[in-house]
C-alpha cells in the first residue's frame, strides 16, 4: 500500500506507516524506556532523601519577601468566576513548578498558582507559544484558539519567595547536590536504548538551565516521571516557601508561581485588583481563605 493519500484537492500527504512485526518490538522498547527512567528517577530520589532537610534549609536561607503590583493571570474562560483557583494546575502533567496527575500513586500531587508580570507573557505562558515569527498580537493569537480566555490583574505580598534571577540564592543547594553519582550501568543502558545519557547538575548555571528547560513537559508526558523543575518546585513548596520568581522562557519577563497551601501561618496575600463581575467571585487569598483555592 502506498504511504501517500490524496485529498479532494489532489494533494499528496505522507502518512505514518510501518511493518506489523515491528509493533511488538516498539512496545518492548517503550517498556524498557519507561523502566530506565523510573530507575533513574528512583536512584536520584534516594540520594535526595538522604539530605532532604538540608536541601529545604538551603532554599529557605535564599528566600526573601516579595511584593508585586498589577501582575497578570490568564485562565481559560471556564475559570472566569474563580480565576485565583489553583486546581487547574493539578491536571496531568501539572505546571513547570508543580506536579499534576502524572501518577498520584507514586508522585505527590500539589497545586501552583501562576502569574506573569505583563499580559503578553501571561498569554504566552497559557498557550505555551513562542514569540519567534509572531505575526499577530498576543490578543490576536488568543482569538485563534478554540477556547475563550480571561485575564485578571493581580497584586500581592509574600513573606518568603525564592527568586531564580538571583542565582547566588542557589549556592547552598548546589553544594549539597553536586556530588550525586550514578552507576555506570545507567550510561550503558542509555546508549543501548539510543537516548541521551543521564546528566546530573554540578553548577548553578546547569541547575538554572535545567529548571528553565523549554520542553520540560517531555519528561512527565513521555517518561511518566516528574520533570526536574517539578521536583525542585516540590522541595521549595515542602520547605514552606510561598513561591518562586523566574524568567519566562518565552518572553524573558518575570513570572511567579505561588503555593497558597503555605499561607496558613503567614501574612501573605494575593488579590485581584479590579471590581469583580459578581459578589460570588473570591478576590483574595490569604491565611483565612487559602483552602478555598486549592
Q: Rounded mean pLDDT of 105-134?
A: 84
| Of residues 294, 228, 230, 284, the one with CA closest to residue 262 | 294
- pLDDT at position 57 is 98
Q: Write down the domain spans for the chain.
A: 23-293
- pLDDT at position 274 is 94
Distance CA 210, CA 200 (A): 10
Residue-wise pLDDT tens digits, 54-102:
999 999 999 999 999 999 999 988 888 999 999 999 999 999 999 999 9
In angstroms, the Cα distances linking 57 to 43, 61, 148, 231 are: 22, 6, 42, 16
Cell numbers at residue 293, please? 483555592
**Helix, strand or coil for residue 231?**
helix
- pLDDT at position 280 is 86
- pLDDT at position 65 is 98
Residue-wise pLDDT tens digits, 258-289:
999 999 999 999 999 999 888 888 999 999 99
Amino acid at each position: 500500500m502506498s504511504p501517500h493519500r490524496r485529498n479532494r484537492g489532489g494533494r499528496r500527504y505522507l502518512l505514518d506507516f510501518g511493518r506489523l512485526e515491528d509493533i511488538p518490538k516498539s512496545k518492548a522498547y517503550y517498556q524498557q524506556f519507561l523502566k530506565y527512567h523510573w530507575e533513574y528517577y528512583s536512584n536520584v530520589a534516594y540520594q535526595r532523601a538522604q539530605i532532604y532537610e538540608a536541601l529545604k534549609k538551603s532554599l529557605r536561607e535564599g528566600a526573601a519577601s516579595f511584593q508585586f503590583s498589577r501582575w497578570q493571570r490568564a485562565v481559560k474562560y471556564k475559570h472566569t468566576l474563580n480565576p485565583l483557583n489553583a486546581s487547574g494546575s493539578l491536571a496531568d502533567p501539572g505546571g513547570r513548578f508543580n506536579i499534576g496527575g502524572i501518577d498520584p500513586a507514586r508522585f505527590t500531587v500539589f497545586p501552583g498558582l501562576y502569574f506573569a508580570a505583563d499580559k503578553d507573557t501571561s498569554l504566552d505562558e497559557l498557550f505555551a507559544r513562542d514569540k519567534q515569527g509572531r505575526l499577530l498580537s498576543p490578543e490576536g493569537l488568543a482569538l485563534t484558539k478554540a477556547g475563550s480566555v480571561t485575564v485578571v490583574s493581580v497584586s500581592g505580598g509574600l513573606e518568603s519567595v525564592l527568586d531564580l534571577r538571583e542565582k547566588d540564592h542557589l549556592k547552598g543547594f548546589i553544594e549539597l547536590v553536586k556530588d550525586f553519582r550514578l552507576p555506570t550501568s545507567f550510561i550503558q543502558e542509555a546508549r543501548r536504548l539510543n537516548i541521551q545519557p543521564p546528566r546530573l547538575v554540578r553548577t548553578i548555571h546547569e541547575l538554572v538551565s535545567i529548571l528553565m528547560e523549554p520542553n520540560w513537559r517531555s519528561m512527565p508526558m513521555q517518561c511518566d516521571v516528574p520533570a526536574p523543575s517539578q521536583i525542585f518546585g516540590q522541595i521549595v513548596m515542602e520547605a514552606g516557601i510561598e513561591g518562586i520568581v523566574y524568567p519566562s522562557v518565552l518572553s524573558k519577563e518575570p513570572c511567579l508561581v505561588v503555593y497558597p497551601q503555605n499561607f496558613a501561618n503567614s501574612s501573605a496575600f494575593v488579590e485581584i485588583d479590579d471590581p469583580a463581575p459578581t459578589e460570588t467571585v473570591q478576590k483574595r487569598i490569604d491565611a483565612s481563605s487559602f483552602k478555598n483555592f486549592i
